[in-house]
Structure 1
Amino acid sequence: MNFRGLVPEEAWADLVQRGQRRQYRRGAVLLGQGETATAVIALTDGIVKVAQSARSGERVPLALRGAGEVLGEMGALLDHRRSATVTAVTACTGYVLPAHAFRGYLARHRLEGAVYRLAVERMQENENLHAALIRLSPRARVARVVGHLAAEVGTPDADGAVSVQLGMDREELAVMAAMSRSSVMAVLRDFHATGVLTLGRGRLVVNDSVALAELSEE
Structure 2
Amino acid sequence: MDETKEGRDLNQKPWPASSLLGRMSGRVREAFLELGTAVTYGARQKIIRQGEESHHVLVLVDGIVKVFVETEFGSPVLLGLRGRGDLLGEMSVLEGRPRSANVMTCTAAHVKLIKSAQLKNFLDRNPDAWSAVAASLSSRLHWANKRRAEFVACPAPVRVGRVLAEITGRYGVRTAEGWDLDVSLTQAEIASLAGVALATFEKALQLLHRAGLVRRQYRRIVVDDLEGLALFGGSDLRNPYQYGMGDADVAQS
Secondary structure of 1:50 counterpart = strand
Matches within 5 A, 1:41-190: 41-110=58-127, 111-151=129-169, 153-155=170-172, 157=174, 162-190=179-207
Q: Structure 1 pair 129/158, CA: closer, same or farther in 2 (3 Å)?
A: same
Work out whether residues 166 and 204 of structure 1, in 8 Å CA contact, stay in contact via their aligned partners in 2. Answer: no
- In the TM superposition, what whole-angstrom CA distance separates every residue of 1:112-170 from its partner, at most 9, and x where no partner exists? 1321222122112112112112222222121111123234x4246499x6443343211
Partner Cα distance (2:54, 2:102) in 1 = 12
SS at match of 2:234: coil
TM-score, scaled relative to structure 1: 0.88
SS of equivalent to 2:149: helix
Question: Counterpart of 1:6?
Answer: 23
The answer for unaligned runs of 5 or more in structure 2 is 1-17, 236-253
**Residue by residue, what CA displacement relative to the aligned partner does 1:159-216 show, whole Å, maximum 9, x if unpaired?**
9x64433432111222222222122122223323443134345543433233112211
Give the alignment partner of residue 232 of structure 2, picking from 212, 215, 218: 215
C-alpha distance in 1 between matches for 2:32 and 2:78: 28
The C-alpha deviation readout for 1:87-136, integer Å capped at 9, x for no partner, is 00111111101011011122222221321222122112112112112222
One-letter amino acid of the counterpart of residue 62, structure 1: L
CA RMSD of aligned residues (A): 2.2
Runs (4+) off by over 6 Å: none
Q: Which has the larger radius of gyration?
A: 2
What SS class does the counterpart of residue 62 from structure 1 fall into?
A: strand
Given residue 33 of structure 1, which amino acid in structure 2 is its aligned partner? Q
Structure 1 residues 82 and 202: alpha-carbon distance in aligned structure 2, compared to 1, 3 A threshold: farther
Show CA shifts across 1:70-97 (max 9, x none): 1111212221211110000111111101
2:67 is paired with a residue whose SS is strand
Amino acid at match of 1:125: W
Structure 2 counterpart SS, 1:18: coil
Contact 1:166/1:202 (CA < 8 Å) preserved in 2?
Answer: no
Distance of 2:104 and 2:142 partners within structure 1: 23
Residue type of the partner of 2:154?
A: L
Query: What does the per-residue CA deviation read over 1:42-75, in whole Å, with 9 as the maximum and x for residues that have no partner?
Result: 1111100000122223211000111111111121
Amino acid at match of 2:213: V
Preserved contact between residue 43 and residue 67 of structure 1 (Cα < 8 Å):
yes
Instruction: State the alpha-carbon separation in 2 of the partners of residues 77 and 148 from structure 1.
Output: 28
Pick 1 or 2: higher relative contact order, CA cutoff 8 A, min separation 6: 1
